[in-house]
């Protein structure tokens, strides 16, 4: 039977440790420590597991030493004779020993049997594997955000295993470009986006579908991007099909779009080639949100943009013949534009916008005819001058009426008197209805409360100050929640959308809680103080600084995904109507 001696050739031990360390790219001391542990384990198997046995291999000479260690304890604390030694006995052996000291007894060399040698081998291999995994993790965790080159090792169920040299990475099926097929030994470039520490070793996740992969490719192909002269502020991709990137130049003499395209399209074509023919729209970034949204919807031409900053939604009006182009194939153009800008985009045709305007105009006309006891011509004139509610007519400055052609002070006074009488009658009706619904008078005394608001609260079963105090802002303003098809839908609150802001609703509820005795009045002061710094910080900023501040809060990829999910029109239905084929002509 072959045996391995602890007293084997000392130089051979060091040579083996050095060879293993170089092969696995780990420190030689780790291999030496693994050998020491293997010797200790084999010695315990020979002398008994209860003993405290330690081994040492001199890293310079390879000399091996084996000891049994006993710790000196007080006589009354003595428990285990295999690991402990009474103080009185220790003093007889070595008078210098004290409690807590260690007595080392050198053990003679011994030969490993077959089982002991196999065990030692397993211990060394496990230690080396652990060290190799730790080295891989430490090496790649700081390379997150880089483009990694590798060779395809194998493809399993659509997942591509990539040999990175001293580690393996994986391009999962959803991180790859659709319809892109790799074969073993193909060279591949991918974006390293995550390294996680696992029991079986570090998992290195690569992606060819991530927007950051395209940004890094442009940094490699466009020197101005690499140097920071041109910034890629946003990127949205439909991997393998089309992408949009927003670029801006820090040097007014350099055209960011032209620099990214390159001479005869050489730079952008190099990126397109790496991405399997994915078409790329290079969009000039703009600090003005409306302008950037218009740019992002290229090649469609936009007629009008209406922003809702609180909801981060934008209504975009396009000509009827531009609507299919703005939508794109299967909604691709508007979807990418929404991801790129971070705004939810609602597309409306000019004809639909005109019909809605005519409908709203007629509704205001009918309201003014009823409230002011006026003829249709006068009501239409007031609606065309921008008046939307009877309250505006009742409390507007008389000078604003006189500016309207054909109006004088007498006419203005008469109209405002009629408007106020109408509001008084409406308030009386609402107050009567409020009482009928059982809404307490104390509710009407809350700051910001009106009889109409009280009626709406009563219709929802909110009848006391305590009921109001128990509300949350969403109950009043409304909120979005996932619908049956997964797309967010708007759920109306007690008030119609836009009638009250969320922060105003929060303040209203806080005051109700003070009135109900739930909280102290200084809680409102604390809330106002918390809101004040945000307003103060932005009050003195320039337009450019405000834009930069807003850009910092777009929310990145998560916000883009949320915006994508919120598209309210049925893209498949639009495609079925034929708008698809007209949208993006082949280039």
Write down all domains in the chain, each with its CATH number in brackets: 3-132 (3.30.1480.10), 143-207 (2.40.50.140), 438-532 (no CATH)
- Long-range CB pairs of 513-516, under 8 A, 24+ apart, other chains included: 513/469, 515/442, 515/446, 515/465, 515/469, 516/465, 516/466, 516/468, 516/469
pLDDT for res 3: 38
Tokens for 546, please give them.
């405000």
- The sign of the torsion formed by the CA atoms of 420, 425, 426, 432 equals positive
pLDDT, block means (10 residues), the chain with 587 residues: 43 66 66 71 70 72 71 74 71 74 70 61 70 76 89 90 87 90 91 85 89 93 92 92 93 91 92 91 92 91 87 89 90 92 90 89 89 86 85 82 77 86 88 88 86 88 90 87 74 84 86 86 75 50 46 41 40 40 38
539 three-state secondary structure: helix
Q: Are 236 and 211 in contact (CB under 8 A)?
A: yes
Q: Are 69 and 102 in contact (CB under 8 A)?
A: yes
* CA–CA distance, 426 with 394 (Å, rounded to integer): 13
Q: Are 200 and 193 in contact (CB under 8 A)?
A: no
Which residues neighbour 118 within 8 Å (Cβ) at sequence distance 6 or greater?
none
**CA triplet 413, 418, 420: central angle to 5 degrees?**
95
pLDDT for res 538: 45
- Residue 142 CB burial class (10 angstroms; 0-12, 13-18, ≥19): exposed
* CA–CA distance, 266 with 260 (Å, rounded to integer): 9
Q: Is the peptide bond before 299 cis (omega within 30 degrees of 0)?
A: yes
327: number of Cβ within 10 Å: 27
pTM: 0.61
Instruction: Report the chain's C-alpha Rg in angstroms.
Output: 38
pLDDT for res 255: 92
């Amino acid at each position: 039977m072959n045996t391995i001696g602890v007293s084997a050739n000392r130089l051979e031990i060091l040579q083996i440790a050095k060879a293993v360390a170089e092969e696995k790219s780990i420190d030689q001391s780790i291999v030496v420590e693994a050998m020491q542990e293997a010797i200790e384990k084999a010695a315990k198997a020979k002398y008994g597991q209860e003993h405290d046995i330690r081994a040492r291999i001199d890293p310079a000479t390879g000399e091996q030493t084996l000891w049994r260690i006993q710790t000196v304890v007080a006589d009354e604390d003595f428990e285990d004779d295999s690991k402990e030694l009474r103080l009185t006995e220790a003093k007889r052996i070595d008078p210098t020993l004290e409690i807590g000291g260690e007595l080392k007894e050198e053990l003679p060399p011994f030969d490993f049997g077959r089982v002991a040698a196999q065990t030692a081998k397993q211990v060394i291999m496990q230690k080396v594997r652990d060290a190799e995994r730790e080295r891989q993790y430490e090496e790649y965790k700081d390379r997150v955000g880089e483009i990694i080159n590798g060779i395809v090792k194998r493809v399993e169920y659509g997942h591509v295993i990539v040999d990175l040299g001293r580690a393996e990475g994986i391009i999962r099926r959803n991180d790859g470009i659709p319809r892109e097929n790799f074969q073993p030994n193909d060279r591949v470039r991918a974006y390293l986006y995550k390294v996680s520490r696992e029991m079986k070793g570090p998992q290195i996740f690569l992606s060819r579908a991530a927007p950051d992969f395209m940004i890094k490719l442009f940094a490699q192909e466009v020197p101005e991007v690499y140097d920071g002269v041109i910034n890629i502020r946003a990127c949205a991709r439909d991997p393998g099909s089309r992408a949009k990137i927003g670029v801006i130049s820090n040097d007014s003499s350099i055209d960011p779009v032209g620099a990214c395209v390159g001479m005869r399209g050489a730079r952008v074509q190099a990126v397109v080639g790496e991405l399997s023919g994915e078409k790329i729209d290079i969009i000039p970034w703009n600090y003005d949100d409306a302008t950037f949204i218009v740019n992002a919807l290229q090649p469609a031409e936009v007629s009008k943009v209406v922003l809702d900053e609180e909801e981060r939604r934008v209504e975009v009006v396009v000509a009827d013949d531009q609507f299919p182009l703005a939508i794109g194939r299967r909604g691709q153009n508007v979807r990418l534009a929404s991801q790129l800008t971070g705004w939810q985009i609602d597309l409306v045709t000019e004809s639909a916008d005109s019909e809605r305007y005519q409908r709203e105009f007629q509704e205001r006309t009918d309201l003014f005819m009823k409230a002011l006891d006026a003829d249709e011509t006068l009501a239409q004139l007031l609606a065309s001058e921008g008046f939307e509610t009877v309250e505006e007519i009742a409390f507007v400055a008389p000078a604003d009426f006189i500016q309207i052609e054909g109006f004088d002070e007498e006419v203005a006074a008469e109209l405002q008197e009629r408007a106020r009488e109408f509001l008084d009658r409406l308030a009386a009706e609402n107050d009567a209805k409020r009482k009928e619904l059982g809404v307490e008078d104390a509710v009407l005394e809350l700051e910001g409360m009106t009889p109409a608001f009280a009626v709406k609260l009563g219709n929802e079963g909110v009848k006391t100050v305590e009921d109001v105090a128990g509300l949350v802002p969403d109950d009043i303003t409304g909120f979005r929640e996932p619908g049956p098809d997964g797309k967010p839908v708007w759920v109306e609150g007690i008030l119609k959308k836009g009638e009250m802001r969320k922060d105003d609703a929060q303040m209203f509820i806080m005051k109700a809680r003070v009135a109900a005795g739930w909280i102290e009045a200084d809680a409102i002061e604390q809330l106002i103080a918390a809101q004040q710094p945000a307003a103060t910080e932005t009050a003195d900023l320039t337009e450019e600084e405000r834009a930069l501040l807003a850009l910092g809060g777009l929310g990145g990829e998560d916000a883009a995904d949320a915006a994508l999910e919120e598209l309210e029109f049925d893209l498949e239905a639009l495609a079925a109507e034929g708008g698809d084929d007209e949208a993006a002509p082949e280039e």
